[in-house]
Structure 1
């Protein structure tokens, strides 16, 4: 997804296999040069410990995200 199409408050779906085993949904809190800070809002329960360790936040490359359909 293009960084220019992302706005604060957007709900995005992503997958970061380095930190979480399964896809997750997050709300955009901050936009960086090539990535965004997401507050993780929905995730697989098998990743609950990892999400807690990340304090429910993660930085993800913008090009690996997709918008959540309404």
Structure 2
């Protein structure tokens, strides 16, 4: 997967978020990336998003490229 800064991705729910969410890649690591969360399920994750300050590190295996920069 060719993940780069600025790409939009769809991420699977994980330990930090209860529902799937979308975001923009801010930084790429070896096996994961820092995602600025832009779209999420407000019913289930409104408190989580505040705790995370709209950011989460997600492994490449838990994300799908939506659009490239």
Same topology, TM > 0.5: yes
Name the counterpart of 1:15: 12
Contact persistence 1:11–1:68 (CA under 8 A): yes
Runs of 4+ in 1 over 4 A off after TM superposition: none
In the alignment, structure 1 segments of 5+ residues that lack a partner are: none
CA contact (8 A) 1:12 1:25 kept: yes
Q: What TM-score do the two structures reach when normalised by structure 1? A: 0.87
Alignment: residue pair count? 67
TM-score (norm 2): 0.88
Which is further off, 25-34 or 14-23?
A: 14-23
Counterpart of 2:22? 25
**1:41 aligns with one of 17, 24, 38:** 38
- Residue 15 of structure 1 contacts residue 23 of structure 1 at CA under 8 Å; is this kept in 2? yes
